[in-house]
Amino acid sequence: MSDQRARFEAQVLPHLDAAYNLARWLARPPLDADDIVQDALLRAFRAFDSFRGDNVKPWLLQIVRNCFLTAAGQARRTRNVPIVEDNQPGADDPAWISDTPDPESTAIRAEESRRLDAVIATLPREFREVLILREMEDLSYREIAQITGAPIGTVMSRLARARGMLKERWLSDVEGVRHVVQ
């Protein structure tokens, strides 16, 4: 294994899940998150020699986002399949363990997870991405600005708007499901 490969494995691959999670939240069928992440990791590997920063995660996520935009642009140009912006609730929810072992609460959590997934998916992409980067990846405004190429002020207002939209849609979804009349 070359030195560069070893450094890459140590510094970049620990962020592979973050890269995949972002790609998975950005990409819509027919785009494939696996392909986007594979492409991004190859580009990152080629560019790693010239990477001088000390903060790998935003650097990698920026590459992932660029690869997504490239793939989305190509798919749009071929025109045979439209890029659907609204996600179908995923059939591939992670079957990962929860803290609560009893089946009933596990089922409730899975249902909540599925509905939350569907609600987040209805957010326009520029709002969805800041939400994912801030709340799931715990990145700072500055790092999100680096990844999205937007000024910090724009990141702030998009984030505030995204949170507002999520709350609104989540509540209307919950009420729609439970037929709550107040």
Partner 1 sequence: MSCSEALRVHAYFDSELDAGAAAEVERHLETCADCAALLKDLETTRSALRESAPYYRASGELRERIADVLDDEDGDRSRRRKSWTGISFLTGAVSGGGVTALAAVLAFFLLLQPSPDLLVADLTNAHLRSLMSDHAIDVVSSDRHTVKPWFAGHTDVSPPAVNFASQGYSLVGGRADYIDGHRAAVVVYRHGKHIINVFAWATGDEHLPAEALRNGYHLLFWKSGNIAFCAVSDAGLDEMKTLTRLIQNAGAPISRE
Give the interface with partner 1 as residue ranges (CB under 8 A).
1-2, 4-6, 8-10, 12-14, 16-17, 19-21, 24-25, 33-34, 37-38, 41-42, 45-46, 90, 93-97, 99, 101, 109, 112-114, 116-117, 120, 131, 134-136, 140-141, 156-157, 159-160, 163, 166-167, 170
**Cβ 27 vs Cβ 36: under 8 Å:** yes
As a dihedral over the C-alpha atoms of residue 70, residue 149, residue 159, residue 90, rounded to 10 degrees, the angle is 20
How far is residue 136's CA from residue 40's CA, in Å, rounded to a whole number? 20
Closest separation between CB of residue 29 and partner 1, Å?
14
In the complex with partner 1, the residue whose CB is nearer, 3 or 80, is 3
Report residue 141 CA to chain centroid gap: 16
**Residues in the chain, how many?**
182
In the complex with partner 1, the residue whose CB is nearer, 53 or 94, is 94
In the complex with partner 1, the residue whose CB is nearer, 157 or 172, is 157
Closest separation between CB of residue 72 and partner 1, Å?
18
How far is residue 162's CA from residue 14's CA, in Å, rounded to a whole number? 28
Q: How far apart are the first and last CA of the chain?
A: 64
Closest separation between CB of residue 79 and partner 1, Å?
28
In the complex with partner 1, the residue whose CB is nearer, 10 or 82, is 10
Q: Would you state the structure tokens that stand for residue 124, as one six-digit string?
A: 């326009």
Residue 124: HSE in the Cβ half-sphere, 13 Å Cα cutoff: 8
Closest separation between CB of residue 112 and partner 1, Å?
5
Closest C-alpha to 55, from 128, 145, 135, 143: 143
Closest separation between CB of residue 5 and partner 1, Å?
5
In the complex with partner 1, the residue whose CB is nearer, 34 or 175, is 34
**Cβ 31 vs Cβ 72: under 8 Å:** yes
